[in-house]
């Protein structure tokens, strides 16, 4: 495939496996300015903190189209200013240390290369919307797992945003299976010392995929947001648990590989979570992230929607699709509740404040009783909201209606939403409540207590759980979620409608 008609293209050489350096070349054609500013992203979508990827660049040089050096200077930690001297083509060459083995990093050794392009590909300011191509110089026997179109070791993206949201794993040892749901093909790429039961995996993945598509499509024929999707799974010999969502793929890293059967439910949980991100955050995206600004923090108050709602639904879809039974689901839900109440039950910050402060210390323990987890508390308040809507509307509506509304109004047209938009979606799903509704169950009270405030959740949680015959017991000796001893026929029916519809 010729690259000459592309204005921006990259070549990544993956031969230096012993030193773990990727050799990157960027050619920018059609330059018409006296200066060009080059930026390496300061963070990556899905991890809302500054990552300082530039610390992994060992050497950085800039040339014109005749391979003559061009003067440049570094103007921030990850930005360079180049004086073109009238050159119409700028060539950038550098080495990037690929030694971060998780779902968000890049890794190079003698057996594989994993590249999250957001880590290591600089872009030219003002050229983000131009088509890009990446040529991979890798061994001939390597297979390529990636959500981008590929031909002759060249990956093509419509723009830089799509490029850096499409990680690649290449290796001679890749296993590959796929399944079809509607018009979309779902690929399962697997690297690691695991020989899985493929029929079982394909059946389980197919079931939760179909359920997600059915719920998000509503009355329409089930449809996925893209024609293809890639689960890129790495199984390591060490303890690991990490997943990152992308445009039409996810990278998931788990281990140890010798205990695959032990953590098979973890694989299902994280895979369902990441797949739901294809709707929620990849396309149903906060307005503050439209478009991504890769140079700095992108503060937003709705992280609890992006991650908390997704955490709740990831496990719920496994139960509703029949992949998990009731006992497994309640065990996982109990784990989520414990994580919130054990770690963050007394925290001062609200979910809105903790969402904003992701960029400060959201992924670190922080000082005691300061912030909550947008994942764990976000999932708990999503559970409360789902059950309260169901109770108030007799299961006519639920959190499903909230997320379908968000998809129709914001995700499909790719329009960013605000905190006020999410609240309006909740109000729209609740409709007109029956007369005499308790004041503590209004949308206003829910947001005051659960979202913008930091009121203790135990009482509100148990009121919601009582509707389906469950109770959360928490004291100094134990925390446990369980079925009530004498739950009624009505509670049993409500439980079934919630978990089996």
Average pLDDT over residues 181-188: 98
Q: pLDDT-based confidence at 438, cuts 50/70/90? A: low
**Which tens digit of pLDDT belongs to each residue from 141-175?**
999 999 999 999 999 999 999 999 999 999 999 99
The token duo for 87 is: 């050159």
Half-sphere exposure for 457 (CA within 13 Å, toward CB): 33
Contact in structure between 168 and 108 (CB atoms under 8 Å): no
State the Cα–Cα distance between residues 394 and 66, nearest whole angstrom: 72
- In the listed set 136, 171, 206, which residue is the last one of a domain according to the structure? 171
Give the per-residue pLDDT at 358.
96
Max CA separation in the chain (angstroms): 82
Is the domain of 399 the same as that of 331?
yes
Is the domain of 59 the same as that of 131?
yes
Percent of the chain with pLDDT over 70: 96
- In the listed set 278, 303, 331, which residue is the last one of a domain according to the structure? 278
When the pLDDT of each residue in the chain is averaged and rounded to a whole number, the result is: 95
Cα dihedral 248, 251, 252, 255, rounded to 10, equals 160
Q: Is the pTM of this model over 0.85?
A: yes
Long-range contacts of 151-155 (CB under 8 A, 24+ apart): 151/1, 152/1, 154/1, 154/3
Give the per-residue pLDDT at 265.
97
Q: Is 477's pLDDT higher than 90?
A: no
Is the domain of 271 the same as that of 290?
no
Average pLDDT over residues 224-250: 97
DSSP state of 47: B
Contact in structure between 42 and 294 (CB atoms under 8 Å): yes
Give the per-residue pLDDT at 441.
65
Q: Which of 74, 51, 58 is nearest to 23 (CA)?
A: 58
- Total number of domains constituting the chain: 3
Q: Is 24's pLDDT higher than 80?
A: yes
Is the domain of 105 the same as that of 138?
yes
- In the listed set 171, 201, 220, which residue is the last one of a domain according to the structure? 171
Contact in structure between 261 and 180 (CB atoms under 8 Å): no
Tell me if 403 is assigned to some domain.
Answer: yes
Its domain, for residue 334, covers 281-501
**Which tens digit of pLDDT belongs to each residue from 57-112?**
999 999 999 999 999 999 999 999 999 999 999 999 999 999 999 999 999 999 99
Is the domain of 29 the same as that of 147?
yes
DSSP string, 72-135: EEEEETTEEEEE-TT-S-EEEEEEEE-B--STTS-EE-SSEEEE-HHHH--EETT-TTS-EEEE
**Which tens digit of pLDDT belongs to each residue from 339-357?**
999 988 889 999 999 999 9
* Angle formed at CA 87 by CA 86 and CA 91, multiple of 5 degrees: 150
């Amino acid at each position: 495939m010729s690259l000459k008609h592309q204005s921006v293209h990259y070549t990544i050489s993956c031969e230096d496996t012993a030193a773990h350096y990727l050799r990157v070349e960027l050619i920018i054609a059609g330059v018409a300015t006296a200066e060009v500013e080059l930026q390496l992203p300061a963070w990556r979508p899905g991890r809302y903190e500054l990552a300082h990827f530039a610390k992994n660049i060992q050497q950085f040089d800039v040339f014109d189209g005749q391979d003559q050096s061009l003067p440049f200077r570094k103007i921030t930690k990850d930005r360079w200013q180049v004086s073109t001297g009238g050159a119409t083509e700028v060539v950038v060459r550098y080495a990037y240390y690929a030694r971060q083995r998780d779902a968000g990093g890049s890794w190079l050794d003698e057996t594989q290369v994993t590249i999250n392009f957001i880590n290591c590909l600089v872009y030219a300011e003002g050229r983000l919307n131009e088509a890009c191509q990446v040529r991979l110089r890798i061994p001939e026997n390597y297979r390529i797992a990636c959500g981008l179109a590929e031909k002759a070791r060249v990956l093509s993206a419509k723009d830089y945003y799509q490029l850096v949201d499409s990680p690649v794993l290449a290796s001679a040892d890749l296993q590959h299976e796929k399944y079809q749901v509607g018009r979309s093909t779902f690929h399962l790429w697997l690297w690691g010392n695991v020989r899985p039961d493929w029929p079982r995996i394909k059946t389980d993945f197919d079931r939760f995929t179909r359920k997600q598509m059915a719920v998000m499509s509503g009355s329409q024929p089930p449809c996925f947001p893209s024609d293809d999707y890639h689960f890129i799974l790495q199984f390591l010999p060490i303890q690991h648990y990490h997943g990152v969502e992308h445009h039409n793929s996810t990278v998931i890293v788990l281990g140890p590989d010798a205990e695959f059967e032990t953590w098979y439910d973890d694989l299902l949980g994280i895979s369902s979570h990441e797949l739901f991100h294809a709707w929620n955050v990849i396309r149903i995206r906060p307005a503050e992230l439209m478009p991504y600004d890769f140079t700095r923090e992108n503060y937003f108050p709705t992280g609890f929607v992006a991650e908390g709602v997704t955490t709740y639904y990831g496990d719920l879809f496994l139960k509703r699709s029949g992949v998990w039974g009731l006992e497994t689901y309640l065990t996982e839900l109990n784990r989520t509740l414990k994580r919130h109440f054990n770690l963050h039950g007394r925290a001062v910050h609200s979910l809105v404040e903790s969402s904003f402060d992701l960029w400060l210390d959201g992924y670190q323990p922080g000082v005691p009783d300061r912030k909550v987890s947008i994942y764990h508390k976000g999932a708990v308040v999503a559970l409360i909201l789902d059950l309260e809507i169901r109770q108030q509307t007799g299961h006519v509506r639920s959190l499903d209606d909230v997320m379908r509304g968000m998809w129709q109004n914001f995700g499909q047209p790719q329009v960013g939403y605000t905190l006020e938009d999410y609240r309006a979606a909740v109000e729209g799903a609740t409709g007109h409540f029956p007369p005499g509704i308790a004041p503590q169950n209004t949308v206003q009270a829910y947001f005051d207590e659960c979202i913008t405030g930091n009121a203790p959740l135990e009482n509100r949680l148990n009121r919601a759980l009582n509707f389906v015959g469950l109770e959360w017991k928490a004291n100094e000796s134990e925390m446990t979620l369980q079925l009530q001893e004498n739950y009624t026929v009505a509670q049993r029916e409500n439980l079934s409608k919630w978990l089996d519809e």
